[in-house]
Every structure is written in structure tokens, then in C-alpha cells.
Amino acid sequence: MISKKDVEHIAKLARLEIGEKEKTKFEKELSEILDFIEKLNEVDTTGILPVTGGVELANILRPDEEVTQELEDKAEELLGGAPETKENWIKVRAIFS
């Protein structure tokens, strides 16, 4: 059984402000949830494999490929569209000051 003090502690951890009516309501509801979980613990699950989400997922990574240097010769063309440049770099406003 969850006590009113437990509900107050949980609310404090969750940084929630709850009134007296809510404390009484949550005391009852949380106790019912824990009772239901206790009933689930009584179920015989021998031979049942745990479920991990129902979907087998795997990371799909692209193969590493060599990067071509096609843009190397186009520096002037690429930098020409920038409003301000300095030593083949695009000059931008500072983000951190």
C-alpha cells in the first residue's frame, strides 16, 4: 500500500505540486497499480521468452567510400557566392562571444 507520505515524496521527486485531494487520489491509484503488478508476478512464465519490442533492429551503415576531390578546383566558384571570405574560408558572424 502506498502512503500519503510516499505520494508526497514521489511528487517532490517529479517536481509536482499536488493538493490534498490529488494526494488521496494518487495514493489509491498507485496502490491499485502496484497490486496489479503483484498479480502479474504470480503468473507462471517458465518457458516464455522475454519480449524485447517485437522487432529485430540492426544498425544499417553505408560502406566507407573514398571521397572524390571534385570540389577542389571549384574553390573560387564556391567562395564567390559567400558575402565575405578570408583565406579561402567563408567568414561568418561569431556564435559565441
CATH number of the CATH domain containing 25: 1.10.20
- Beta-bridge partner residues of 89: 86
82 Ramachandran zone, left/alpha/beta (phi>0; psi -120 to 50):
beta
Residue 86: DSSP 8-state: E
39 vs 45: CA distance, rounded Å: 13
pLDDT for 6: 95
- Is residue 67, in this structure, part of any structural domain at all? no
Look up residue 40 and give its three cell numbers: 502479474
Domain count, the chain: 1
Residue type for 8, please?
E
- Is residue 64, in this structure, part of any structural domain at all? no
Tell me the pLDDT tens digit for each residue of 2-52.
Answer: 999 999 999 999 999 999 999 999 999 999 999 999 999 999 989 988 877
Tell me, yes or no, if the pTM score tops 0.75. Answer: no
Range of the domain at 36: 4-41
Tell me the pLDDT tens digit for each residue of 72-93.
Answer: 777 888 888 889 998 888 998 8
- Is residue 89, in this structure, part of any structural domain at all? no
* Secondary structure element (H or E) that encloses residue 71, with its range: none
- Is residue 91, in this structure, part of any structural domain at all? no
